[in-house]
Copies of this chain bind each other. A is one copy, B any other.
Amino acid sequence: MKQNLKIQIENIAKKAKSASGRLSILPTAAKNAVLKDLASALLKGQAIILKANKKDISSAKNKGKAFIDRLSLDALRIKQMADSLLEIAKLNDPVGEVLRAWNTAGGLNIQKVRVPIGVVAIIYESRPNVTADCIGLCFKSGNSVILRGGSEAINSNLAIFNLFKQVMQKHNLAEGTINLIATTNRQAVDYLLKLKDDVDLVIPRGGEELIKKVVSVSAIPVIKHYKGICHVYVDECADLNMAMNICLNAKLQRPGVCNAMESMLVHRDIAGRFLPGMLKKFKQAGVQIRGCVFTQKIANWVKRATEKDYRTEYADLILSVKVVDDLDAAIAHINAYGSRHSDSIVTDDKSSAEKFLKQVDSACVYQNASTRFTDGGQFGMGAEIGISTDKLHARGPMGLEELTTYKYMIHGCGQVRR
């Protein structure tokens, strides 16, 4: 008899919780050996993965080219997935790090020690490489993981997962160490998100729709990133060539990603010198501009920006532009319209830069650099599990450390409280 879906999901979560105890104390060398075997399993299992992936692609053939591209695997992509696991094996193990240690007046020794979070659930969309990355990152950080991928990638995800399962068995790791919810029934996610006693953290990865749904349903804490409405503010003291270079890069180097510039702010005193050339370059690059009245005066081909434009993540070749009175106006605009992700000021004035960096309430604030650097790899943290626009627990790129919490370990010699 087929098991009831709710009970199935509850059992997965219970097994994950139970596995997390032993996983949390697994030595670094043992974890790295598993990661290396996971990488080998991908390479050796390439034919199996590609066969499963073909099935997914043929079911998705009406979904458009970009969709198919995200879903598709080939030898190179499988190699990249394997390399990513080997890279994770090389990263420092955050578990067990003593963050602080001190003795109290009463002679207690207190250590604040980094420990895994426990069980992490990841709800994601169509890219199958996420399956391997998330298992690698959660495993290295000592967390059991429950994956729920998009239904379009179900065959690819299962193929990867089953190869990994064999590696876990070979290393005598508990069944619940890694988990994939194999049904495409959407109710499964609703059940999962209520299991707050067994699941400690949910990370949704995907579009705004998916994330909003997870947040609205979840009884488990969620770390998320809704949108990337990133700004570059070109200050009155900017080197205008540098500014142009940074703005072009922030918009064009990869327009579809969350750390691309969506809105450009320009100090009014340099707008007349900066904007004509800048807008021309964007036009040549095929970028549609939506600007304020002042921007329109400089370039009459510019469409007028609405309030909504300044709150929109286009993830496309569209840019909103606004001329602002001063630094304060730029900061106020970013804090009101931005998404707390990544914002940059181009200026040679140190005090303006420091004011911007302190007062813009975003995860990553830049002076004289492109917003495109907000990324675990670029930061030198290694692979990332996502970027948080939340403020609690993890902010900005999330690597291994951000998948840990801490506990206090206290050693005494019989102390009691007076």
A residues near B, CB below 8 A?
21, 24-25, 102, 104-106, 108, 110, 117-118, 200-201, 221, 223, 239, 242, 245-246, 248-250, 253, 335, 353, 357-359, 361-370, 372-374, 378-380, 390-393, 395-396, 405-418
Contacts and interface: CB of A to CB of B under 8 A. Distances in A.
A361 B359 CA distance: 38
| Copies held by the complex | 2
A367 B111 CA distance: 12
B390 A221 contact: yes
B417 A372 contact: yes
A120 to B, nearest CB: 11
Contacts of A391: 117-118, 200-201, 405
Nearest to A222: B221
Given A102-B380, A242-B414, 19 more contacts: A21-B361, A104-B373, A108-B369, A200-B392, A201-B391, A201-B392, A245-B416, A248-B416, A253-B417, A353-B411, A361-B407, A364-B410, A365-B409, A368-B413, A368-B414, A369-B413, A395-B405, A395-B406, A395-B408
Contacts of A372: 416-417
A410 B361 contact: no
B392 A408 contact: no
Main secondary structure of the interface of A (DSSP, over half): mixed
Nearest to A360: B407
Given A253-B416, A414-B368, A409 B357 contact: yes
B373 A108 contact: yes
A405 to B, nearest CB: 5
Given A378-B104, A379-B110, A410 B118 contact: no
25 contacts: A21-B335, A21-B361, A24-B358, A102-B380, A104-B373, A104-B379, A104-B380, A105-B380, A110-B379, A110-B380, A200-B391, A242-B414, A245-B414, A250-B416, A253-B418, A364-B407, A364-B408, A364-B410, A365-B407, A368-B414, A368-B415, A369-B410, A370-B417, A374-B408, A379-B408
